[in-house]
Structure 1
Amino acid sequence: MLRNMRKAGQTVVGKAIAFIFFGALIVSFAIWGIGDIFRAQPASTVAEVGKTTISVNQVRNAYTNQLQQLGRQFRTVITPEQARLFGLDQQVLNSLVTEAVLAEEAKGLGLSVSDELVARSIVENPAFRGADGQFNRALFDQALRNAGLSEAGFVQEQRASMARAHLAEALAGDVTVPNAAKEALHRYAAERRNASYFLLTAALAGDVPAPTNEQLQSFYEERKGTFRAPEYRAANAMALDAAAIAKPDTVSDADARQRYEQQKAKYGQPERRTIQQIPFTSMDDAQAASAKIKEGAAFEAVAAERGVAASGLDLGTFTRAEMLDPAVAEAAFALEQNGVSAPVAGRFGPVLLRVTQIQPEAVRPFEEVAAEIRSEIARERAQSELEKIHDEIEDLRAGAKPLADIAKEKGLTLIQIPAIDAQGLDKAGNPVDVPERDAFAKAVFASDMGVDNEALRTGSGYVWYDVTGIEASREKTLDEVRDQVVAQWRDDQVGQRLSEKARQLTERLEKGEAIEAVAQEVNAPVKNATDLARNANKDDLSAEAVNRIFATPVGKAGNASNAADSRAVFKVTAATVPPMVTTTQEAQNIDTQLRNGMSDDLINQYIAQARQDLGVTINQQALQQATGSGEF
């Protein structure tokens, strides 16, 4: 057909017909709105907060990061469906909206953060510190690459984050906790009670006759849910562990020495320098000041002319790797002690530098750390080999090769698990012997038969698994659980009898009878409990019984379940609260707890009002696009 159309289009008549046909087609497109195909574009903004927009990419990046964190936490791949069950999309969006609200408010209030504070926050960030605990430029650069950020973008985000933190601090950083609140919390935590009590044991319930079939059937029907068998799954697993692959003895002396030379700072203390600086707004000013120093002017005097006090000169003590600005690091580590640099074009403007102290490097000898280095190299090589074997196994899995065959080919052990429940237990209630049992159980129950699962990443390797069978949860029949039902029925009967007996004895105490006389009637010894604290068991009183004592006024009687087969009957004899001493650690903890709670409430209320004032618009379609939870 297309060939015939092309032939017809080569004639004059054919061209005229084609012109008329396609012209009509274009007009019809315009009439029926087909032009929307060319005009419509995917939404790029998920939310608008005042004048701040939150883009699809921002949400997608934050969502992906949170998804990966959850995956690492549960040691498995989190599916979009599971993420939605966690409410991850809304959590991420709310967090970004809150940041945008605080950013808008900070901007409106004119809050800003100096370059020095930003630089210090980066240098002091634990995430950028090496094994020696100091700032490591290589780690910093690697972190930015992993996050897909430029250095300028990270500095900008750090500055914005600090501005938001300053606003939050201004809002709730100096909250005064009312004394009444501190007294109330102190009273709750520090109150102590005394009580006289006796215990009713199962023996006082008397003989409980065996239940009839009708009673047992009725009891079972009312509690069927407690006799359900959990869902069990059968699975095959195969583990690959890097520790078994590592071979330190194969690392040559030359390789170990080369690593030692490359990472000397790791095995000792690298050279550190104490550095002072005078900042300038222009290079001309810096050069003029440098000329004065060369002519004999003191470094401090030139700093004073610039309005920099002697106490403000110190930049700090650093290794070369810890310094954020490469130009400043290069100049500072080229100076002699007490030497002053020429003007340096630093990242945050021109500076003059002076080195006031030099701490020479002190490195452990190679022989002392050789074994450590060989183990490290062997683990790295094993990791490389591990990844190679991992990729080979994944290729075999992609070719639909059974896990049992792969284990045989690679010389790995196939773990066959006939039954595992969601808690990682077998049918006998024993823990299943499999690497990363909890994560493995979660992964198995998140999968299904016939599903090609991602390998679980362990601390030192991988675990592959297949679900080979599913035994659904079911209600056990009465015949299967008859002994358990009988035992529970008897416990229930004993509990009812003891509860009724305790009620009667409590009424007598309330009418004024002495606790000793009431206890003697049931041949129970009276005991005295002192210094009882909330939510804590004491002697033979359970925490449940102690809490009931705290819920009963002084001088009053009560009773409470004390254990599976006993009940406590008591009379509260005293309640004491020590005075709150504001200088104690306990008082400080109370103040901190209340202050944090009140601060959070203030900030949340401020954000809620600011959201209302600024106006927040959410594009649900763009949110679905960012989180991969809808069609787009």
Structure 2
Amino acid sequence: MLTSMRKGAANWLAKGLMAILVVAFALWGVDQWLRGGTQPWVVKIAGEQITSDQIRRTARTLNADPLTALRRMVLERISDEEVKRLGLSVTKEFIVDALSKSPRYRGPDGRFDPSLVRRDAASINLSESGFIERTRAQALRAHLEATLTAEGSDLVVLAEILNRYLEERRTISYFVVPEKAAEKVAEPDEAKLEAFYDANAKRFQTQETRKFAYIAVLLDTFKKPQDVKDEEVQTEFDSHKESYVTPEKRKLQRIVLKDKAAADKAVEALKAGKDFVALGKELGMSETDIDLGEVTKASMLDKKLAEVAFALAKDTPSEPVQTDFALMIVRASEIKAGSTKSLADVRKDIVEKIATQKALEEMQPLYDKIDSLRGKGRNLPEIAEQTGAKVVQVASVDKAGNGSDGKPSVPLAESAPVVAKVFATDIGEEAAPVELKNGGYVWIDVQGVEKAKTKPLADIKDEVKAAYLAEETKKALRVHAQKLIERLAKGETLAALAKEVDAKVETTTPVKRFDKAEGITADAQRLAFFLRQGTHGQADTLDGKGRLVLQVKDITPAFEMKKEDRERSAKAFGREFGQELFGAYVAGIEKEVGIQVNQAELLKLRQDQ
């Protein structure tokens, strides 16, 4: 892979760097967080810290929540480390040359204007040289991802195949063969019962259970919302007023024009009633080129275009506007009004946030002390004695979280992850604390394991007999259903055979492969998509008590894709495939890079969601 990445670098950078520079400025422009901070760190990657203050600044830049911003920042840093490891590079001279050729940095005379580069650099508080270094890093990150992204004509073919696979519709007719239609199963003798018991021993086992103890430090036990003062609420509201504002959003479309003459013709055509999208296509643009997506005014890089676009009435084309990129006409096809929440609207949330922050601060020393003692090899009773924490004993729990009486035996609101940790830990093994989604930590000690064992036949003879009869009845029902299918193949009708078993024929509406067909199971629907039109099959009924005999009544082929739809689907599939491949690639190198997470600070960050 390293060889191919280096080999492809020159061509890729030469052909596509300008597109990446524009996209990078809009989407990857989050490395302001590298400028340091004094707050406690949330994540460390390769020894470098990401603080909560840096995360919140990035979230504001991206117009995203803090956790989304953190994920982006972590991905950037991991990508940077991998770029170093692979030895990928691009010279400063190449970046400068690329910037000089970018339409973004051309003045009204069409020539490169360095002041426009300085403008972008100043907008994110960087020097000109700092901006160039930042652009170089972004280009290499984007190259790392682009190297793993699928592209090419093969994806167009794949898009067509997927379209046929996903869009084909089938109509399914069926009737239910009830249990009573099957041949009656004879009572089993002792030999048959014992043979069935031996062959299905695992069905008649007890569940494995475990005995364990735990210490829980729970956020809710420290949280006191009733103690939050009105002035604290007001201060929090005043300092985060911008977070309570939802900006207006608009879905924008644009038509790019080569000159004023083309603009004048476009304006006349639109005034005469020409469809906006149709006009864009006539001028050589695809729907993807026309669609700018849903944006806020603040997120638009070209402020002149933003002013024009957000002053328009819905579906009203603008006059031609000269942007940093090109001459264009823009319109808003959809408008979502903004809103501002009052203190009364968010008071409850603010109280919860302040109470949670105070609880975290109060909880942290106890967490640190327990974790420190645990690291020194202390057992839970010793830790409880030195910290005042309470040790809780659980005499028996199975994997479902139930005790010997079949009822939940772990007295925690969020017990599932604790039980999972218990069953993943051996006796005497020191396990890492379980972090609870609701806030808090649980330390466990596994004290005993009762392995699953087969119940004696003498104790469960009635249970085994019932299981035998049920299974043999199902076999007899399948045999009977198959005989009916054989008769159908010889020309008898579905309606006649349904009447024979006192049933009636039902027919689904036309369904796609992954739609939910009414009245039949997912397995029956999958079977119907394997059968030819007019042929038959059988499957379980929804309640599992009967057998379904079905026929593929009709097949409606998928619609024929237009050329532009094929190309758009191919691009989308390439992006999805590439992102998934890149995600798997990043996951594979995370361990090598070395990531540390400050759980307490991360929990605080979650409160900002």
Q: Which residue is equivalent to 2:369?
A: 392
Residue 255 to residue 497, structure 1, CA distance change in 2 (3 Å): closer
Q: Which residue is equivalent to 1:494?
A: 473
Moved more, 254-263 or 231-240: 254-263
1:425 CA displacement = 4.3
**1:542 pairs with 2:542:** no
For residue 2 of structure 2, the aligned residue among 37, 49, 54 is 49
Q: Which residue is equivalent to 2:424?
A: 446
For residue 487 of structure 2, the aligned residue among 503, 508, 513 is 508
2:138 is paired with a residue of what secondary structure? helix
Residue 418 to residue 173, structure 1, CA distance change in 2 (3 Å): farther
CA distance in 1, matches of 2:591, 2:77: 22
CA contact 1:234–1:420 (8 Å) conserved in 2: yes
Instruction: For residues 369-396 of structure 1, give each alpha carbon's deviation from its aligned partner in whole angstroms, at most 9, with x where no partner exists.
Output: 8886665444333212211111233355
Residue 510 to residue 582, structure 1, CA distance change in 2 (3 Å): closer
Q: Which residue is equivalent to 1:7?
A: none
Residue 262 to residue 492, structure 1, CA distance change in 2 (3 Å): closer
For residue 219 of structure 2, the aligned residue among 238, 242, 248 is 242
Q: Which residue is equivalent to 1:102?
A: 5
Instruction: For residues 103-130 of structure 1, give each alpha carbon's deviation from its aligned partner in whole angstroms, at most 9, with x where no partner exists.
Output: 5521465545687765544436899555
Q: Which residue is equivalent to 1:526?
A: 504
Instruction: For residues 119-165 of structure 1, give each alpha carbon's deviation from its aligned partner in whole angstroms, at most 9, with x where no partner exists.
Output: 544436899555984369xx999969x96999978765433112344
1:224 CA displacement = 1.8
Residue 208 to residue 160, structure 1, CA distance change in 2 (3 Å): same
**1:462 pairs with 2:389:** no
**1:381 pairs with 2:358:** yes
AA of the residue aligned to 1:202: E
After TM superposition, the structure 1 = structure 2 runs for residues 87-126 of structure 1, keeping only pairs within 5 Å, are 101-102=4-5, 104-107=7-10, 110-111=13-14, 112=17, 118-123=24-29
For residue 138 of structure 2, the aligned residue among 158, 162, 172 is 158
Residue 222 to residue 593, structure 1, CA distance change in 2 (3 Å): farther
AA of the residue aligned to 1:441: V
**1:232 pairs with 2:135:** no
Instruction: For residues 584-618 of structure 1, give each alpha carbon's deviation from its aligned partner in whole angstroms, at most 9, with x where no partner exists.
Output: 9xx96x8766555567889999xxxxxxxxxxxxx
CA contact 1:242–1:379 (8 Å) conserved in 2: yes
% of aligned pairs identical? 21
Instruction: For residues 290-309 of structure 1, give each alpha carbon's deviation from its aligned partner in whole angstroms, at most 9, with x where no partner exists.
Output: xxxxxxxxxxxxxxxxxxxx
For residue 568 of structure 1, the aligned residue among 530, 535, 548 is 548
Instruction: For residues 355-413 of structure 1, give each alpha carbon's deviation from its aligned partner in whole angstroms, at most 9, with x where no partner exists.
Output: xxxxxxx9999999888666544433321221111123335546766535755776655
Q: Which residue is equivalent to 1:474?
A: 453
1:241 CA displacement = 1.9
1:203 CA displacement = 1.5
CA contact 1:219–1:489 (8 Å) conserved in 2: yes
With normalisation by structure 2, the TM-score equals: 0.54
Residue 110 to residue 597, structure 1, CA distance change in 2 (3 Å): closer
1:473 CA displacement = 2.8
For residue 380 of structure 2, the aligned residue among 388, 398, 403 is 403
After TM superposition, the structure 1 = structure 2 runs for residues 308-319 of structure 1, keeping only pairs within 5 Å, are none
CA contact 1:491–1:565 (8 Å) conserved in 2: no
CA distance in 1, matches of 2:418, 2:162: 46
Larger Rg: 1
After TM superposition, the structure 1 = structure 2 runs for residues 160-309 of structure 1, keeping only pairs within 5 Å, are 160-165=140-145, 172=151, 177-178=156-157, 182=160, 185-186=163-164, 189-195=167-173, 197-247=174-224
For residue 134 of structure 1, the aligned residue among 61, 65, 70 is 61
AA of the residue aligned to 1:123: G
CA distance in 1, matches of 2:164, 2:561: 11
CA distance in 1, matches of 2:137, 2:378: 48
Which ranges of structure 2 fall in alignment gaps of 5 or more residues? 34-53, 82-125, 248-295, 302-338, 582-589, 596-609
RMSD between aligned alpha carbons?
5.2
Moved more, 510-519 or 239-248: 510-519
2:428 is paired with a residue of what secondary structure? coil
Residue 464 to residue 147, structure 1, CA distance change in 2 (3 Å): farther
AA of the residue aligned to 2:393: Q
Which ranges of structure 1 fall in alignment gaps of 5 or more residues? 1-47, 51-100, 271-315, 324-361, 606-622
CA distance in 1, matches of 2:12, 2:181: 73
With normalisation by structure 1, the TM-score equals: 0.53
CA distance in 1, matches of 2:498, 2:237: 78
CA distance in 1, matches of 2:468, 2:575: 51
Paired residue total:
420
CA distance in 2, matches of 1:519, 1:450: 62
1:172 CA displacement = 1.7
Residue 228 to residue 368, structure 1, CA distance change in 2 (3 Å): closer
1:490 CA displacement = 0.5
Residue 154 to residue 488, structure 1, CA distance change in 2 (3 Å): farther
1:577 CA displacement = 0.7
Residue 364 to residue 624, structure 1, CA distance change in 2 (3 Å): closer
CA distance in 2, matches of 1:373, 1:598: 43
After TM superposition, the structure 1 = structure 2 runs for residues 32-43 of structure 1, keeping only pairs within 5 Å, are none
CA distance in 2, matches of 1:501, 1:129: 66
CA distance in 1, matches of 2:467, 2:381: 45
AA of the residue aligned to 2:489: E
CA distance in 1, matches of 2:592, 2:420: 28
CA distance in 1, matches of 2:7, 2:165: 42
CA contact 1:103–1:164 (8 Å) conserved in 2: no
CA distance in 1, matches of 2:340, 2:176: 69
Residue 447 to residue 543, structure 1, CA distance change in 2 (3 Å): closer
AA of the residue aligned to 2:433: A
AA of the residue aligned to 1:493: E
2:160 is paired with a residue of what secondary structure? helix
CA contact 1:198–1:524 (8 Å) conserved in 2: no
AA of the residue aligned to 1:478: L
CA distance in 1, matches of 2:576, 2:340: 48
CA distance in 1, matches of 2:454, 2:518: 40
Moved more, 435-444 or 250-259: 250-259
Q: Which residue is equivalent to 1:42?
A: none
Residue 105 to residue 486, structure 1, CA distance change in 2 (3 Å): same
Residue 552 to residue 253, structure 1, CA distance change in 2 (3 Å): closer
2:474 is paired with a residue of what secondary structure? helix
CA contact 1:535–1:544 (8 Å) conserved in 2: no
Q: Which residue is equivalent to 2:288?
A: none
1:543 CA displacement = 3.2
Residue 423 to residue 595, structure 1, CA distance change in 2 (3 Å): farther
CA distance in 2, matches of 1:265, 1:514: 69
1:134 is paired with a residue of what secondary structure? helix
Residue 202 to residue 317, structure 1, CA distance change in 2 (3 Å): closer
CA distance in 1, matches of 2:228, 2:503: 74
CA distance in 2, matches of 1:130, 1:602: 29
